Structures are given as C-alpha cells and as structure tokens.
A = this chain, B = another copy of it.
C-alpha cells in the first residue's frame, strides 16, 4: 500500500508531513513525499490515498492530481483557513489510519472541466473564472447554455463554480452556498453593470459556453491562468471525474460553515 503525501512548501506543513510519513512507514505503508511547487507534479504511482498537508490552495492542487487518477484524498490543515483541509494535525494520525482501513466513508464531489476552442484545459474542484484584463474597464461576454443564448454580462467577469467552489470566490461575488454533495453548475457574474443580474444554478448536464469580443483571462481554481483571445470559445461542463474526499468524520459541512465562515454569526 502506498500513500502520496502532497505537502505545502512551508516549515510547519513539512514538519507535520514528516511526522505522518514516520507514522505510515511504521505501519509498513510506503510513502511518496511531494512538496507542492508551481510547475511540478508528483511521481505517478499506485496510490491508495493522497494525504494533503497544507491549506486550501495545496488541497486544490492535490485534488486536481488525484481526481483524474481516481485516488481518494484527505486534507490535514496547515494553512490559515483550511476550509477544505478539514482534519487538524492532532487528529490526522487516527483518521488516516481509519481511511486506509476502510473505516471512513468518503464523499463524492463533482468537478468541472474547461475547454478553450474545443481543447481540454483541465479538471477543477472549485471554479473556472473568465475575467477582464487588468487595464480594461470592463468585459462583455455572451453566455450560452446548451448552445442556447442565456445572458450577456457586462462586468468584471463571470464565475462557473462547482458546489465545492460555492464557498470560495463565488461567495465573494455574491453567490449562494451549495451543499457540496450536490451536483450543479453555479453561474455568478462578477460586478455586473446591470442592476438585474443574479447568480444562477444550472443543471449539471448542461454545457456552458462563454464568448467575448475582447481579450480575457481564464483562471482555474484561482491557481492556473491562461489568456483567451477574442472570439475564442470557453466551454465549462461537469467533469467525468469525481473527487473522492475523506471529510472530517465528526464535523458536518454546516459546522464548518459556522466555524470557519462565521455563517449566521
């Protein structure tokens, strides 16, 4: 049995990861230790689990690697916020062992994938954002769903988010919270210039198409970015892959919302 340690490049995270490495090796479990850095990827392997040690940024990178390889994932928080990395350091040893022993029930979370001019860009757990370039005053974009014209947005950009991503950038832009076990595409305009624009929930089997006359910028999971030329088509749809996620066994989504987002406080 082999575990991928997917670690944030920070002293605390590496320290915690090393403790977990020892713990696993004592149990005769092989460990691949990977420190996450831009442009680098872990070695391929037959991993039973990806164990992320870090914050939400590290988790998203780990999830992108793992989901398309059908590796389940668990997150240990060594970041500031840790909305996705639900397990605290103290609890990690117990829960990793339980997950590997099949004693925890993972959650399936949908991903979205993005295409530019028909070419796959990747699969993402949080969101795909098309936005104006820095110096532009605004972006105009036509949005289609299932090839039908949906709405024209004048503003800073548009977000297409998964339910998991609904508590990330989409929330800042005014979107609703979506329970992460649901399947839906969340469309949120960013700073729209019309008074009447609202977030919209779109069925997960719809393909969303975005076309702008201007040069725009595509941001994936808030981490990867590519420039999009005028009239290039950006498609966003549900990915065939899922993220298999070991959430905290004793803290529900609602609990984490109240604690970490101060929901309802």
Q: Please list the residues of chain A having a beta carbon within 8 angstroms of any beta carbon in chain B.
A: 57, 131, 133-135, 137, 145, 148-153, 155-156, 163, 166, 169, 171-179, 181-182, 184, 186, 190-203, 206, 217, 222-223, 225, 252, 254, 257-258, 261-265
Contact B196 A261, beta carbon cutoff 8 Å: yes
A-B contact pairs, 21 of them (CB 8 A): A133-B134, A134-B134, A135-B225, A137-B222, A137-B223, A145-B254, A148-B254, A149-B254, A163-B201, A172-B193, A173-B191, A176-B198, A176-B200, A181-B203, A182-B201, A182-B203, A190-B191, A195-B195, A195-B196, A197-B263, A198-B263
Tell me the minimal C-beta distance from A196 to chain B in angstroms.
Answer: 4
Q: Which residues of B contact A192 (CB under 8 A)?
A: 172, 264
Tell me the minimal C-beta distance from A228 to chain B in angstroms.
Answer: 13
Interface of chain A: mostly helix, strand, loop or mixed: loop
Q: A191-B173, A252-B148, A264-B152 are in contact. Are A201 and B201 (CB under 8 A)?
A: yes
Contact A196 B265, beta carbon cutoff 8 Å: yes
Tell me the minimal C-beta distance from A181 to chain B in angstroms.
Answer: 6
Q: A134-B133, A151-B258, A203-B181 are in contact. Are A264 and B173 (CB under 8 A)?
A: no
Closest chain B residue, CB of each to CB of A148: B252
Contact A172 B191, beta carbon cutoff 8 Å: yes
List of 4 A-B pairs having minimum Cβ-Cβ separation, nearest first: A195-B196, A172-B191, A151-B264, A176-B199
Q: A172-B191, A172-B193, A191-B172 are in contact. Are A179 and B153 (CB under 8 A)?
A: no
Q: Which residues of B contact A174 (CB under 8 A)?
A: 174
Contact A263 B195, beta carbon cutoff 8 Å: yes
Tell me the minimal C-beta distance from A125 to chain B in angstroms.
Answer: 15
Contact B262 A265, beta carbon cutoff 8 Å: yes
> Looking at the complex, which one of B163, B171, B191, B217 makes contact with A195 (CB distance below 8 Å)?
B171
Q: Which residues of B contact A150 (CB under 8 A)?
A: 254
Alpha-carbon distance A145/B177, docked complex (angstroms) = 14
Closest chain B residue, CB of each to CB of A169: B191
Alpha-carbon distance A199/B188, docked complex (angstroms) = 14
Tell me the minimal C-beta distance from A202 to chain B in angstroms.
Answer: 5
Among A197, A198, A263: residue with most chain B CB under 10 A = A198
Q: A191-B173, A193-B172 are in contact. Are A179 and B200 (CB under 8 A)?
A: yes
